[in-house]
Structure 1
């Protein structure tokens, strides 16, 4: 098995390399700069790893960089401006594709643009292999299995600590700022719409005595869940306090002067809770919860596990949501050694 990492020299890319090395999976480091790829290989402790140079503006070079690889993990954001080039090259190279994108509109664009091309090429494309989208999408499928046809699924992301965002994540935020400020897409009766008001203004987290204020937020699983769950409405939420942070001005020049990303101690101290609340047509309710540490480290684990499974246990060609590519409970259980805990439970019906 040989897995390429495009954008291997970035913050998230190096975490993916480290996870591949931990599993002793053969890898190819790919990106725009030979010097930066060499530095990344040295930093991760894999100086002998194969390196291939290609920019997203050179399709033939990018295809050549991916040829002979079984899968690629694309870590080169912002994905909105460059992600499609890597998808297109992977399909042309006959290489399964996944990425670490959390850019909701770009994830939807992959489904809209590449479904037929990937299917005809016999390639599986599974975007958004992140700490949020993959567990959230898999949990949603388990909720639907429990409840049957679903009226509504609400996915709420809450993250505590972590030392801030990486430079790459901040650049993605700048590029997708308008969509983030609008609250992202919501799915309603078969249509994704941008800027729909959130149906909830507060949520009670597991183990918390009081609800917290929430706001609409563009989580990627809003795009993936309706691909495999019969549901009328899906929306994403996060803490309303995040809105104050989003109002703070940030420029690319300012980002360039920041650290590459949170240090190891900050990442170890970070905790996330993702809650999916589902309501069935008859009023039955169920809740799925995912707890874990270190969003960037968990994303690296999930991206590598996603790519590995696409190669070892082919899911079928096309652009797929996580629950279409993997067995939900088996994948979630495989994350347990990395501190990820999950549950799905019925919720008493409100009277």
Structure 2
């Protein structure tokens, strides 16, 4: 029996830090949606605090497969904000596919992205789309690289460089970061994914002022998984750095952090995280500035070419809320026809996303080509 889709969008994990930001953004857009999570008390408190049209309140845990399928069966789109995704996300993907419901999430976990590609055929056959990493990480890098690579064929290398000043993170982001470093991490080299330990390689990008050139270290970014699925580059690398920290410092300490995440120290860190604040304050968020530098090397009409694009702004969590809400609205509409497990730039036209981010002061600009 076919279940009526009574919820255009359902936010799973709506009472968490990111979930609440997404809920406020959907409310600002006057989009009706449902909220879902484990605690009825917290859901009711969120409903009462929102200036939004809440069309449903669903008590469900990610460990209840039958209940998840029921909620997904009533939803056109489920936005999953429950992490760490390696531990808690796969069952939600399965429930969405079985419930004939589009799925999107805010994951930043590389191995989860790689794992969920296995559901591509099932999602296609189920007539739904599964879109991972529709957030600051890694939608901006994925879409920016797709834009930067236009007109380049063949593509030898794509590099995505993150430069950050201020790194205030939520409890959920900290937990996910530990899970990232506890597992195998990858780069895309000569057309295949290969295991690479973070922090072993340095890369420099000529960021414009106020950052200037920044040297970072290789990082298990999601673009390493997403970009090869829609842009035919032989090599994809991601680097993380900060203007005030030398690349060599990153390189020295990254392997230590990697080893600590795989030791018992991680359990102590998790307990410390759980006692900390839920996430950054609005003032802290606004002070977190970033530039994302994208390098594309290859050929254009038989001539060697190097292209560089920079995405610049602040408030990664505010950006995540806007990107996620935009994706949810698009996926819930009648003109969305994508199917399968898709990276952000394959699910949506990459050039459609800069406009919704413009009110936040996010800029996209090409540097001089060579």
TM-score, normalised to structure 1, is 0.91
Selected match of 1:142 from 139, 147, 154: 147
Is residue 85 of structure 1 aligned with residue 91 of structure 2? yes
Give the secondary-structure state (helix, strand or coil) at the position aligned to 1:273.
strand
Aligned twin of 1:257: 275
Residue of structure 1 in register with 2:218 after alignment? 216
1:212: Cα distance to partner? Answer: 2.6
Q: Alpha-carbon deviations, 1:290-311, whole Å to 9, x = none? A: 1122101100110111121122
Q: Contact (CA 8 Å) 2:26, 2:52: kept in 1 or not?
A: no
Structure 2 Cα separation of the partners of residues 236 and 129 of structure 1: 17
- Give the gaps of 5 or more residues in structure 2: 1-6, 242-246
Compared CA separation, residues 232 and 136, structure 1 to 2 (3 A): same
Q: CA deviation at 1:323?
A: 1.6
CA deviation vs aligned residue, 1:273-298 (integer Å, no higher than 9, x gap): 11111111453100111112210110
Is the counterpart of residue 343 in structure 1 residue 365 in structure 2? yes
1:333–1:24 Cα change, 3 Å: same
2:3 aligned partner: none
Q: Is contact 1:73-1:97 (8 Å) kept?
A: yes
Residues 47 and 328 from structure 1, CA distance in 2 versus in 1: closer, same or farther, beyond 3 angstroms? Answer: closer
Give, in angstroms, the shift of residue 242 of structure 1: 5.6
The answer (yes or no) to whether the contact 2:311–2:365 under 8 Å persists in 1 is: yes
TM-score under structure 2 normalisation? 0.86
Structure 1 CA distance for aligned equivalents of residues 37 and 50 of structure 2:
16
Count of aligned pairs between the two proteins: 343
Equivalences for residues 182-197 of structure 1 within 5 A? 184-195=185-196
Once the two structures are superposed, the pairs formed by residues 312-351 of structure 1 within 5 Å of their partners are 312=333, 313-348=335-370
Q: What are the equivalent positions in structure 2 for 1:51-90 lying under 5 Å apart? A: 51-90=57-96
1:222-233 aligned at under 5 Å gives the runs 222-233=224-235
SS at match of 2:294: strand
- 1:42-53 alignment, distance < 5 Å: 42-46=48-52, 50-53=56-59
Distance in 2 of aligned mates of 1:82 and 1:335:
29
* Structure 1 Cα separation of the partners of residues 49 and 84 of structure 2: 23
Q: Deviation at 1:135? A: 1.8
Q: SS at 1:274's partner residue?
A: strand
Change (3 A) 1:168 1:268: same
> Which residue in the other structure is 2:4 paired with?
none
In structure 2, the residue matched to 1:17 is 23
In 2, distance between residues paired with 1:91 and 1:53? Answer: 20
Gaps of 5+ in 1: none
On the 8 A contact 1:125/1:319 being kept in 2, the answer is yes
1:117 is the counterpart of 2:119: no
Aligned CA-pair RMSD: 2.2
Runs of 4+ in structure 1 over 6 Å off? none
**Pairwise CA distance, 1:49:** 5.0
Deviations 1:96-138 (Å, cap 9, x if unpaired)? 1100100011011111x21011000000111000113112111
- What is the rounded CA distance, in whole Å, between the counterparts of 2:323 and 2:70 in structure 1? 26
Following the alignment from structure 1 to structure 2, what is the Cα–Cα distance between the partners of residues 237 and 285?
18
**Could you tell me how far apart the structure 2 residues matched to 1:255 and 1:36 are?**
21
Q: CA deviation at 1:272?
A: 1.4
